[in-house]
Amino acid sequence: MNNQVVVCIPDAKLRGLISLVLADSAALVKSCPDLEEVLRLLSSRYCHLCVLTQGMGPDMEEVITAVRRTSPDTKILLIANRDEVDAVFPLFAKGLNEVILQPFNPKRVVGCLQALLGKATPKPNESAAGTQSPFVAAELVYRPIHLSSRSAAMRKMIAELWAARADPLGVILRGEAGSEFELAVREYQAMSGDISGYPLMFAPNELEVEMLATQISLDRLNDGLPKTYYFPEVEKIPKPQSKALLELLRRTRKNRENAKPLRMVFSTTVNVAAPDGFDPELIEALQFIMPSVVTVPSLRERREDVELIVRRVLMDLTAIYPGCRARSLHPAAMQWICGRQWPGNYQELVSVLRKVVMDCGHREISAAHFGRLTEESAAAMADPEEAAAGRVLEAVQRAAGY
């Protein structure tokens, strides 16, 4: 998989030179106009390298810190002038990896970029990539793009999802209601080489086995990347369609042992009340045909990922609703979010953040906003200063007639 690099250089000539060198190193380059776009990109996908230039903001230490906080594993390269060297050295303590001083030697630039992208080290064996866990070797074979995997539970799930690619049919995802099934499917698709694509989704009430069989036949004739088929809430598939689906999967598995593998993902929720038409035998039969089962952990099991998820979702929401003013969270609000159980998992977290972003009229979201939405006492969780700010905010809103 090619390295992904984000470049934020206002000077068009310098930007073109760096982009040309990166393209020659077989890197995928994305140019961003400002820091906000850089942070939004880093929160939505993993980039191996971030190239910045001196003078992006009033305080370069804050810029480096923001990039490092958004994507801890991304390497940071700074291009600066030689007369600014005194201001560059403190940036290494904030997370800066390398600096290039202008005017520079082209060979020095090429060597520096190749070293940061790992081009000087031998590539891992492609034949062993399907069986090697992405977190066991010093040189990682794969790093997640759509999922936040700082916690041990999520890193384990990513490794199991990576190993599931060896199955000729696909994988089954298990998890509580509201888990990140859709993002896990996109991560599984990215592992197959399609980073920015979207899977073909078949809802339980829209599944037609005849149409699915046609799609599978066409996919066999296609020489490109395999398509990803997603079947959410498989336990709700009607019984007539479920029998035909199981028969199709049995025939397909028999013919796929030596052919191009399929990428089919079935998701099912655990500990859920059986709805009308629920068929528990379908899950058992499906697991017998597709033994690769991966459990998506709940947010309660991965507290370390909550902060990264919140920052990514906040940037996505502010991009969708540019008229909203909220751009950051107060530390007490972040502490409140990380301490909540979130029984509805990822979907509940996104729903609450969407409501807060729509209702907040300030640049910074306080813990009081979450307390009003969840009918809990945010003042008891916040520090005294934050609690006082929340009371002032409520008084202002009452006076304004909100």
Q: 239 and 147: one domain? A: yes
Q: Amino acid identity of 293?
A: V
> Which pLDDT score, from 0 to 100, does residue 154 have?
92
Q: Looking up tokens 């400002």, which residue turns up?
A: 34
Q: CB atoms < 10 A from the CB of 218, how many? A: 10
Cα–Cα nearest to 193, from 261, 291, 115: 261
Q: How confident is the model at residue 179 (pLDDT cuts 50, 70, 90)?
A: very high
Mean local confidence (pLDDT), 267-271: 83
Mean local confidence (pLDDT), 95-102: 86
Half-sphere exposure of residue 271: CA atoms within 13 angstroms, side-chain side: 8
Q: What is the CATH number of the domain that holds 55?
A: 3.40.50.2300
Q: 273 and 132: one domain? A: yes
Half-sphere exposure of residue 186: CA atoms within 13 angstroms, side-chain side: 14
Which of residues 73, 88, 117 is at a domain's end? 117
Between CA 213 and CA 282, with CA 163 as vertex, the angle to 5 degrees is 45
Please state the domain count of the chain. Answer: 3
Which range of residues forms the domain containing residue 76?
Answer: 3-117
Q: Model confidence over 348-377: pLDDT tens digits? A: 999 988 888 888 888 888 888 777 665 544
Q: Model confidence over 282-294: pLDDT tens digits? A: 888 888 888 899 9
Q: Are 61 and 90 in contact (CB under 8 A)?
A: yes
Structure tokens belonging to residue 200 = 């073909």
Strand residues in 252-329 grouped as ranges (E): 263-269, 293-295, 328-329
Given a cut of 90, whether residue 385 has pLDDT beyond it is no
Q: 185 and 277: one domain? A: yes
Structure tokens belonging to residue 62 = 């804050």
Please report whether residue 122 resides in a domain.
no
Which of residues 70, 85, 117 is at a domain's end? 117
Give strand pairing partners of 266. Answer: 172, 231
**pTM of the full structure:** 0.65
Q: 149 and 83: one domain? A: no
Q: 261 and 350: one domain? A: no
Given a cut of 50, whether residue 129 has pLDDT beyond it is no
How far are the Cα atoms of 180, 301, 337, 375, 398 from residue 345, in angstroms, in the given order? 8, 10, 12, 18, 33
